[in-house]
Amino acid sequence: MDERDAGAVARRALPLLDLTDLTETCTEPRIDALCRDAKAGGVAAICVWPHFVAQGARALKGSGIRVATVINFPAGGEDCARATDDTAEALRDGADEIDLVLPYRAFLRGDVAAARDMVEAVRDTSGSATLKVILETGAIADPESIRRASRLALEAGADFLKTSTGKSPVSATPEAAEAMLVEIRASGRPAGLKVSGGLRSVADAATYLALADRVMGAGWVGPGRFRLGASSLFGALMQARGL
């Protein structure tokens, strides 16, 4: 990819970025730095642990950059009451978007009801906030199972499907993202996709942008329908954009 092409990808990708810090060693000064980077890059959102939501919301007030947080993360457990309580607290702290891990182990053992019930409950709790459901596609793996999990999440009220927590051995893959996009297209709903986990280069961003264009059509990609969840990708995009 030459400099001109990389610059074009970067200009397109930065407004789609969920700039993320979900490391175990995250601190308040790092959240301050994350918010400064978010403003400098003009990204769509930051994605942080729940206990940093209030700090992020204060720092980004008036910027138009949204604050996302993670629920039932990363284990994808089955405690529905805990998930709804945590969601309600995050919303009170100022979260605009909820990234919920589907109880994917329940789904894999055939307990579809447990998985559906959590998504529906968090959907109800979330109100007008954006709900992204993380499928953990590296664990589900089989494309047909990914499509079934996608349908479940969409039918239960997800606004976005998200590939991965970024904490599993296998994160986002083009094959998983394509299966999810196909289900979004088939649903007829105005739902979106967040590709997350393992994105590090401008070429990675270009791969998923091209995939979304091919499956969903020109003009579909935008912050309200397509996100790239990453931390290390930010620097590569800023460099390619010449910032």
User: Which pTM value belongs to this model?
Assistant: 0.97
Task: Report pLDDT digits (tens) over 32-63.
Answer: 999 999 999 999 999 999 999 999 999 999 99
Candidates 86, 93, 194, 204; catalytic one: 194
Is 162 annotated in the active site?
yes
Determine how many CB atoms are found less than 10 A away from the CB of residue 217: 10
- Confidence band (pLDDT; 50, 70, 90) for 243? low
Residue with tokens 């990453």: 230
Query: Residues 196, 168: contact at Cβ < 8 Å?
Result: no
Mark whether 99 is an active-site residue: yes
Kindly list the domain boundaries of the chain, sorted by start residue: 3-241
Tell which residue, 131, 142, 119, 196, has the closest CA to residue 164: 196
The answer to whether residue 19 scores a pLDDT higher than 60 is: yes
CA–CA distance, 203 with 158 (Å, rounded to integer): 28
Instruction: Choose the catalytic residue: 21, 93, 99, 204.
Output: 99
The strand pair at 97-101 and 160-162 is best described as: unpaired
Residues in the chain: 243
The CATH number of 3-241, from 1.20.140.10, 3.40.50.880, 3.20.20.70, 1.10.10.10, is 3.20.20.70
DSSP string, 79-131: -HHHHHHHHHHHHHHT-SEEEEEP-HHHHHTT-HHHHHHHHHHHHHHHTTSEE
Per residue in 198-241, pLDDT tens?
Answer: 999 999 999 999 999 999 999 999 999 999 999 889 999 999 99
For the question of residue 39 being annotated catalytic, the response is no
Which residue among 21, 37, 93, 162 is the active-site one? 162
